[in-house]
Amino acid sequence: MTMHKVFISYYHKDDNKYRKKFEESFGHLFISKSVESGEIDTDVSDEYVKRLIREEYITDTSVLIFLVGPKTYCRKHVDWEISAGLSKKAGGYSGLLGLMLPTHPNFREKYDPNTIPKRFYDNIKSGFSDFYYWSENEDNIKKWIEFWGLDELKYNKRKEIKKSFYKKNKKNLIEPTDKDVENLGDIMPIKLRPFLPPTFSFD
């Protein structure tokens, strides 16, 4: 198995114990690029923090795993980290993989989109990322990291598999461009509009 460089995004105040548990259990499967609690000075400007995360931590990361607890959806740093993982400025796109924590109110249930980061939800809808329940099964973690680790060859192969599936089952397929991926919240309603009833509203 390829040793992917993995960045773990999480709400440091509430979910640090799960980040530690994940790295203690599965750290031998990947090279960690994560930010430790207290490692970044919170007194500096937001722009500086965003640039630091993008240039010092997420650069050359092939998989971004974020741990989704009950308050993750409203944490600006998590949103910045997802954005950096989707930015070419960070050296290319990272595969996005979300893990719903046992503390999340929808754990083991159908999740409410309003309880997860909006940028992540936009990428789930586009097929660019996926959401799994917290697991302590090493085989699952191996499989997920390997599948979502974005080296170009595997990414293109996975994309072709999805396209074949959609064509075979006569499903509509929307393919965002590289530029679209960075702003899916605005782009997806435009691309979806031709496939929706005239009376449908995104409001």
Shared-domain flag, residues 183 and 130: no
Q: For the domain that residue 32 is a member of, what is the CATH number?
A: 3.40.50.450
Q: With a cut of 60, say whether residue 171 has pLDDT above it.
A: yes
Q: How confident is the model at residue 39 (pLDDT cuts 50, 70, 90)?
A: low
Beta strand spans in 10-128 (E): 30-32, 63-68, 95-100
Shared-domain flag, residues 128 and 91: yes
Retrieve residue 183's tokens: 């702003």
Shared-domain flag, residues 187 and 90: no
pLDDT mean across residues, the chain: 80
Shared-domain flag, residues 160 and 140: no
How many residues in the chain?
203
Cα(67)–Cα(73) distance, rounded to whole angstroms? 10
Q: Between 179 and 137, whose confidence is greater?
A: 137
What domain range is 126 assigned to?
4-151
Instruction: Give me the residues paired with residue 32 across strands.
Output: 6
Shared-domain flag, residues 143 and 160: no
In a domain, 175, yes or no: yes
Q: Considering its fold, how many domains does the chain have in total?
A: 2
Shared-domain flag, residues 116 and 101: yes
Q: Please tell me which of 5-14, 53-62, 142-151, 155-164 the model is most confident about, judged by mean pLDDT.
A: 5-14
Closest CA to 133 of 116, 118, 158: 116
Shared-domain flag, residues 115 and 186: no
Shared-domain flag, residues 82 and 176: no
